[in-house]
Amino acid sequence: MELEIIEQRENFVKFVLSGITPTFANTLRRLIMSDVPTMAIDEVIIIENTTPLYDEIVAHRLGLLPLKTDLDNYVLPTECECGGQGCTSCEVSLTLEVSGEKDIEIVYSNSLLSQDPKITPVFPNIPILKMAKNQKIFLEAIARLGRGIDHAKWQPISTVSYKYYPVVKFNEKKCTYCEECVNVCPRDIIKIENGKISAQNVINCSLCNQCVDICESDAVFVTTTGTDFIFTIESTGALSSKGILLKALKILNGKADEFKVYVEEF
Ligand code: SF4
Ligand code: SF4
Ligand SMILES: [Zn+2]
């Protein structure tokens, strides 16, 4: 197995994982999507709401705000020593109290005040609701760790995807250098230079097969290695993309260890 990082930013990583099976690639994708926990608002106690938005809609919107997550200091309520009753190890309280002072007041995510400065909305400028002058919202929101398998609000990613590593080849004996494939390729992969045809930046090939379809000489072939995969992980910002990957692998190890214990007890 080999890992090559192609592109990395704070909330984004693109890498090639070589020498694996499609099953392993999909396991990794599903673990990231469904099992890596993040913090999200799970309960809202409305104390006062004179805005035009129903309590349920406000609560739903709050649940979808990505929150910075600290996996070292919090545990899932189901795994907490308090038995899920709620304590400082498994939940955080945030309060929101805003009164309309302008004709149209927009309440943004940075108005949520957290009991723990490490658990705050990832972005300060997400609009939550609009209100008119003298209207008011006052509530307490309880954030808990959860997993995407239970609700999409706990998914740590906006996207996680993989594709097979493309291979684009030519039969130069059959090629007439008509340039049809060059012109049809939407990703600018195929080049004809100095009487030679070649594929460049094949990692960007979308495997659309348009070059194959247009070639009347059967001189272009598009296939995949079958064992190399290009992964893209875009985090919501709740965790870093590297943190998501490390946590997914830790969960996979944990599952293998658990399985091993069962096998040993056969
Ligand atoms: S379309 Fe076929 S024949 Fe024409 S340049 Fe491409 S590979 Fe060669
Ligand atoms: S499969 Fe599509 S993207 Fe890839 S080289 Fe052919 S035309 Fe371009
Ligand atoms: Zn607890």
Terminal CA-CA length for the chain: 31
> d(Cα 68, Cα 182) in Å, to the nearest integer?
45
Place of tokens 């990703």: 187
The CATH number of the domain holding residue 218 is 3.30.1360.10
Which ligand has its closest atom nearest to the C-alpha of 180?
A: 1
CA–centroid distance, residue 177 to ligand 2 (Å)? 16
| Residue 130 and residue 56 share a domain | yes
| Residue 225 and residue 168 share a domain | yes
pLDDT in 10s for each residue of the chain, 266 residues: 999 999 998 899 999 999 999 999 999 999 999 999 999 999 999 999 999 999 999 999 999 999 999 999 999 999 999 998 999 999 999 999 999 999 999 999 999 999 999 999 999 999 999 999 999 999 999 999 999 999 999 999 999 999 999 999 999 999 999 999 999 999 999 999 998 999 999 999 999 999 999 999 999 999 999 999 999 999 999 999 999 999 999 999 999 999 999 999 88
| Residue 167 and residue 146 share a domain | no
Residue 100 pLDDT: 95
The CATH number of the domain holding residue 43 is 2.170.120.12
CA–centroid distance, residue 250 to ligand 2 (Å)? 37
| Residue 57 and residue 113 share a domain | yes
Q: Which atom of ligand 2 is nearest to the CA of 220?
A: 6
Give the end of a domain, one of 155, 183, 205: 155
Nearest residue (by CA) to ligand 1, atom 3, is: 175
CA–centroid distance, residue 6 to ligand 2 (Å)? 20
Asked if 63 contacts 153 with a C-beta cutoff of 8 angstroms, the reply is: yes
AA identity, residue 81: E
CA 252-255-261 angle, 5° bins: 145
Residue 10 pLDDT: 83
Residue 84 pLDDT: 86
Our CA dihedral for 222, 189, 185, 181, rounded to 10 degrees, sits at -70
Length of the chain (residues): 266
Give the end of a domain, one of 138, 155, 172: 155
Backbone torsions φ then ψ of 63, nearest 5 degrees: -60, -30
**Number of structural domains, the chain?**
2
Residue 148 pLDDT: 97
| Residue 145 and residue 130 share a domain | yes
| Residue 137 and residue 51 share a domain | yes
Q: Is 83 helix (H, G, I), strand (E, B) or coil?
A: coil
198 CB within 6 A, ligand 1: no
In a domain, 213, yes or no: yes
Residues with CB under 5 A from ligand 3 (ion): 80, 82, 87, 89-90
Nearest residue (by CA) to ligand 2, atom 7, is: 185
> d(Cα 252, Cα 242) in Å, to the nearest integer?
15
Asked if 131 contacts 100 with a C-beta cutoff of 8 angstroms, the reply is: yes
- Structural domain including 29 reads 2-34+158-232
Residue 266 pLDDT: 84
CA–centroid distance, residue 190 to ligand 2 (Å)? 8
CB contact burial 152-165 (16+ within 10 A = b; e otherwise): ebbbbbeebebebb
